Structure formats: C-alpha cells, structure tokens
Structure 1
Amino acid sequence: MELPAIIDLEASGFGRGSYPIEVGVALSDGSIHSTLIKPPESWVHWSDEAQAIHGISREQLNEEGKSPREVAMFLNNLLMGETLYSDAWSFDSSWLGRLFDEAEIVQRFRLDTITRLLKEDELGAWSDIKDQLTQDLGIVKHRAANDVKLLRETFKQVTSQR
C-alpha cells in the first residue's frame, strides 16, 4: 500500500492570533522536508508555553526562518495537486491558511484529516501505537520533521494488517 503524504505544523501557540512557525512534510516517496517560518512583524502572538513544548525561539525563527512567501511557494512547488493528511486537521488547516494569506498565494494542494484513511479498529489503535513508536524510536516530538516521521511510521504499523 502506498503511504499517504503527511503534513505537520508547529505554531506560536494555540487560539486566536497564533501562526505557523515550522512546517514538515513526509511524502509518499519517503522523503521528508521541513522549514522554519520567519514571522512577519504583524504576527505578534507568542506563547512561552508553546515554546517550552517545541523548543523553537523567536530568535531562531528570525535567524533561520524563511518568509511566508518563500515557504508557500516551496510548498506549492513540492505539493502541487497532492492531498496531504494531518492528525490535527483543524489547527493545521488554519495555520496553512494564515501562511498562504500572508504570502498572497493560492494554496495548490489539499489538506485532509488522516482519520479519513483509517478503519475503526485502526483509529482505536492509533494513539497507543504512536506512543509506543515515540518511545521505541526515541523521537523528540513537536518538531515538524520528527512529527511527520512519527505519523508515517504510526500509519505504517496501524495499517500493516490490511
């Protein structure tokens, strides 16, 4: 079975005013792509609690991040016409919308929830398998590249009995 393309975003926090700071993509060919996003001056929301979880500072974003326009163009070029799947669809779709709005570019790929690809018993096993893989693989969560790797491996294991 071909693996789905998976996307994950890290953000400045949750709720109104939050914005994307990192995006990671795991493609069906096995490749992983990720980039930090340099927030424009109008993006001011910042949660110290979120920073404590993902470990990305505003200084790091300003030094290493790419502009929203660069990131949006990169994603469109990489993902044109694809459907990507997220385990946090409502958050990720909102943050992608904010990124593409800021870039003033039309998003050229779709985003859907990964749960749409899973059977009921697979949904039930998802969380436990994901937690076990996090331990087994020693994955540091809440960085976009690591999270898409974890989601891809979880999807592989959960659906391996098909």
Structure 2
Amino acid sequence: MSIPRFIDIEYCQTDDALFPTAIAWSLSDGRMKTVVIAPDESWLPADMELPDVDLHYLEEQGVPLIELARVLHEDLPDETVFTDGLDPDDVLVDLIFSSVNLEAPFELAPVTDLITGLDRDTIEDRRRDLMFEQGLDPQLPENGVYALLLLARDEGLIGME
C-alpha cells in the first residue's frame, strides 16, 4: 500500500508580504523532510519590518530556493500531494518555484480529496485533536505533516506494520 504524500508550509503574512518560511513533506515510505526557507529578496517588503519573523535566521539557516526546488523535484515527481487546506499552500508553492523559474513537480490537493468519508470540519477537528494528544506544536510544519499521516493511518489509508 502506497503512503499518501503530505505537505505543510509555514509562512509570514503581513499587509505587504506573503512568503514561505519553512516547509515539510512526507515521502513514499512515511519519512518526512523539513527545511527552513531562505527568502527571495523580492518577497521582502522595502521597510524590512516583519513581526514574528527572524530574517537573519532565515537568511543564515534557510535552504536556498534552487536547492529546495531540486529536492522537491527529486522527492515528489508527478505526485498528488495533500495539504490540510487551511493555508494558501498553492500560492506559496507557486512563489517557491516561480522564484527559480521552474514548474512545481507535483499537484496539490486538499486532504478532503483523500479522506472522502469525512467533511472538512471533522477532518480539521480530528487533525487538531491528534496534534494536541501528541503534544505537537502547530507552528512547525513537520508536526502538521505528522498529524496528517496519523489521520490517514486512522482512516485506514496507511497500513500498520
């Protein structure tokens, strides 16, 4: 049984800016990858005042966009990748790939396309409950992906080993 792929993107959003700051995704074997993203200069507002974002940290520790795009092409080629559907993930993915003049190698779909027996509100309630039960910080994208993997397992979409 193939394990569904999931993605979660943390981001900064102000009146003047919207850009990804970290991303996590799952692989076909259930492992996850997560990286901090070095922002493209075109994403940043002229005044550089961004609440709750440490630009120095992102610039020093973040993965360059071309490297991120390369890894995503290797890990998720021609895949349908599921999101929680709560964030502007499609816009954020477009920002990442358009900044390096590439097309995304995968198609985004809401988790409701995968878990069809539950409505969106129920899925979100269950995801939130799983995060609470596991003591997961919802601000970390790897925790969002992990919660979606747990939900898919609970719904019988991932076999138990």
Are 1:121 and 2:108 an aligned pair?
A: no
1:79, 1:98 → 2: CA distance?
Answer: 17
Aligned to 2:91: 94
Greater share of helix residues, 1 or 2?
1
Q: Offset of 1:101 from its aligned partner?
A: 0.4
Q: Would you say the 8 A contact 1:85–1:113 is kept in 2? A: yes
Moved more, 85-94 or 136-145: 85-94
1:3, 1:117 → 2: CA distance?
Answer: 11
Q: Kindly report which structure 2 residues correspond to 1:3-152, keeping only aligned pairs within 5 A, or say none.
A: 3-13=3-13, 17-45=17-45, 47-48=50-51, 51=52, 57-88=54-85, 91-121=88-118, 123=120, 125-152=122-149
Q: Offset of 1:160 from its aligned partner?
A: 3.6
1:149, 1:88 → 2: CA distance?
Answer: 15
Q: Offset of 1:10 from its aligned partner?
A: 0.8
- The amino acid of 1:6's aligned partner reads F
Ranges in structure 2 where 5+ consecutive residues have no aligned partner: none
Ranges in structure 1 where 5+ consecutive residues have no aligned partner: none
Q: Please give the secondary structure, in 2, of the residue aligned with 1:20.
A: strand
Q: Please give the secondary structure, in 1, of the residue aligned with 2:22.
A: strand
Q: Offset of 1:90 from its aligned partner?
A: 6.2
Q: Offset of 1:11 from its aligned partner?
A: 0.9
Q: Offset of 1:87 from its aligned partner?
A: 1.1
Q: Please give the secondary structure, in 2, of the residue aligned with 1:12.
A: strand
- The amino acid of 1:12's aligned partner reads C
Aligned to 2:152: 155
Alignment deviations for residues 35-90 of structure 1 (CA, whole Å, 9 cap, x no partner): 11111222214652xx3xxxx52221111101111111111111111110111276
- Aligned length, in residue pairs: 154
TM-score (norm 1): 0.83
CA RMSD after TM alignment: 2.3
Moved more, 119-128 or 101-110: 119-128
Q: Percent identity?
A: 24
Moved more, 121-130 or 73-82: 121-130
